[in-house]
Amino acid sequence: MRIGIIGAGQIGGTLTRRLTALGHEVSVANSRGPETLSDLAKETRARAVSAREAAERGEVVVVTIPEGRIPQLPKDLFAGVPESVVVVDSGNYYPRQRDGRIAEIEAGRPESRWVERQLGRPVVKAFNNIYARHLLERGRPREAPDRIALPVAGDDSAAKTVVMQLVEQLGFDAVDAGGLDESWRQQPGTPVYTTDLNAEGVRRALRESRQLPEAGLMCSTPSKNSAAQSVFSWLRFYSSIAISAVSGLFWLFRVRTGRASSLTARPKTVVFEPHE
C-alpha cells in the first residue's frame, strides 16, 4: 500500500520504520524539507518528500504533527487528492505543555473533529494513545497473551476498516471506538491513554470514559483498574516536570554560589516528550 506520513517525529518516524519493514511504500514529510530526512530515508528506504507530495502519493495519509501546528499546513493540502484516500489523525492536544489553547477544543469539540475541520477532509483517529517506543517494539503475533489493543475512531466504516487492518499488521488488536465524535474517549487523560490494555481492557476503558461539561475535560468513572492506570500515567508525566524543575533550581544555586563549572554546563533535565 502507498502510505504518506506528514510528520517525522516520534510517531511519524516509528510508523515510517514499521510500515516500510512490512513492505508498504512510504513517503514521509516534515516541516523542514525533504533534505532533512535523508537519514530516515536511507535507514528505511522511504521516500522523503514535501507535505503536499505525501498527501498526493498516499492511499492512506497519516497526519502526525503537533496539534498547534495543524493550521500551518497548506490550506489546499488535499486539493485534487481522491476522496478515497484515507486520512489518519494521530495527534493529541497538549495546551499547557506545547500547543497553547485552542478555543474550539477547550469548548468541548473532540480534538480530531477540530483537525478534520482544519484539513477539510474526514479523518480517522488512531495511533494517538500509545508511546512511540511501544509502537516500535511491542507489536505481537495474533493471539499472543500480551498483545496490546489500539482504539480506532471514525465516521466512515470503510476508511476505519483500512486503518484497523494496518493496526493489525503492526501487531496490535484494533478496537472499533465508534464515530469521530466518540474519539474524545481516547484523548489524553482517559483510561485508555498510554495504558497498553488488551482488547477487552480497551473496550472497558472506552465505556468508562466520561466527559465533564466544562472545557471538554476528560476523566473516567470510578473503575479501580483503569482509573489507577490513568492516574499513574499522569503522575509519571508530572513527576518528570517536577524533577526537571528541581534540577534547574539546583543548577542555579550552584552557579550563584560559584560551584558550577561554567554557565554552559547545565544539568541534564527530563524533557516533556509529547506523543508526536
Measured CA to CA in angstroms, residue 69 lies from 19, 102, 224, 250 at distances of 24, 11, 36, 34
Residue 233 in any domain: the answer is no
Distance from the Cα of residue 275 to its chain's centroid? 5
**CA gap 86, 123 in Å, rounded:** 7
Of the candidate ranges 36-45, 76-85, 165-174, 208-217, the one whose mean pLDDT is the lowest: 208-217
The position carrying cell 533534505 is: 35
Residue 55 in any domain: the answer is yes
* Predicted TM-score of the model (pTM): 0.79
85 within 8 A of 60, measured Cβ to Cβ: yes
Residue-wise pLDDT for 234-269, tens only, equals 555 555 455 445 544 554 555 455 544 333 333 333
pLDDT at 235: 56
Q: Which residues are CB-contacts of 202 (< 8 A; sequence separation ≥ 6)? A: 149, 150, 151, 173, 175, 177, 192
Residue-wise pLDDT for 48-79, tens only, equals 999 999 999 999 999 999 999 999 999 999 99
Mean pLDDT on 85-114: 94
Residue 14 in any domain: the answer is yes
135 within 8 A of 11, measured Cβ to Cβ: yes
Residue 67 in any domain: the answer is yes
Structure-block grid coordinates of residue 151: 482504539
The range of the structural domain enclosing residue 156 comes to: 2-220
In this predicted structure, the answer to whether residue 226 has a pLDDT above a threshold of 90 is: no
Residue 225 in any domain: the answer is no
Mean pLDDT on 6-34: 97
Residue 57 in any domain: the answer is yes
Residue 228 in any domain: the answer is no
Structural domains of the chain, count: 1
What is the CATH number for 55? Answer: 3.40.50.720
What letter does residue 40 receive in the DSSP assignment?
H
Helices (H), strands (E): how many in the chain? 9, 10
pLDDT at 210: 80
Residue 87 in any domain: the answer is yes
3-state secondary structure of 29: strand
Q: Which residues are CB-contacts of 192 (< 8 A; sequence separation ≥ 6)? A: 129, 151, 185, 186, 202, 205, 206, 209, 226
